[in-house]
Amino acid sequence: MNTKKTTLEERIEIVKYCLDHNITCKEASEKFNLKYSQLYSWIQKYKEHGEDGLIDGRGKGKPQSIMTPEEELNARIKVLEERNKYLEMENEVLKKEEEIERQLMKEKSGKKHRTKRSNH
């Protein structure tokens, strides 16, 4: 079977149909033209997390509503680590900018002194 693109509403409807009509994943996968493994996964996620478990979070991570406390803490740590990394890089850029400005000022003040001396 090919992978079938479905909306959240379709996934909810399919899973509810399977549970309400007490049919096997094999029967339902044939009826809805879905992979058995995909349908089985949806049913397990629905049983554990309800409708939120069927949200397609590819590329976005799990919705916070279905995270365990440990997963929430790990996600928060990751966000803070990324923020810290960004601030460290920003700090390095500002330090480098100040260093360049000091060098330019030093060069500029050195040229002024040489110019004055050469005119005398």
106 assigned to some structural domain: yes
Residue 1, domain member (yes or no): no
Residue 2 lies in a domain: no
Q: Which pLDDT band holds residue 81 (cuts at 50, 70, 90)?
A: very high
The angle, 0 to 180 degrees and rounded to 10, between the axes of the packed helices 36-49 and 8-21 is: 90
Averaged pLDDT for residues 59-78: 76
Q: What is the dihedral of CA 81, 83, 89, 90, to 10 degrees?
A: -160
Give the torsion through C-alpha atoms of 13, 17, 20, 22, to 10 deg. -150
Highest mean pLDDT among 48-52, 93-97, 110-114: 93-97
Question: Is 101 within a domain?
Answer: yes
Instruction: Please report the pLDDT score of residue 65 as a whole number.
Output: 66
Domain that holds residue 107: 8-119
Higher-confidence position of 42 and 67: 42
pLDDT at position 77 over 80: yes
3 is a domain residue: no
Residue 69 has a pLDDT of 86
Q: How many domains does the chain have?
A: 1
Average pLDDT over residues 75-82: 89
Please compute the mean of the pLDDT values over residues 77-104 and round it to a whole number: 93
Structural domain contains residue 34: yes
Output the pTM of the full model: 0.50
Domain contains 105: yes
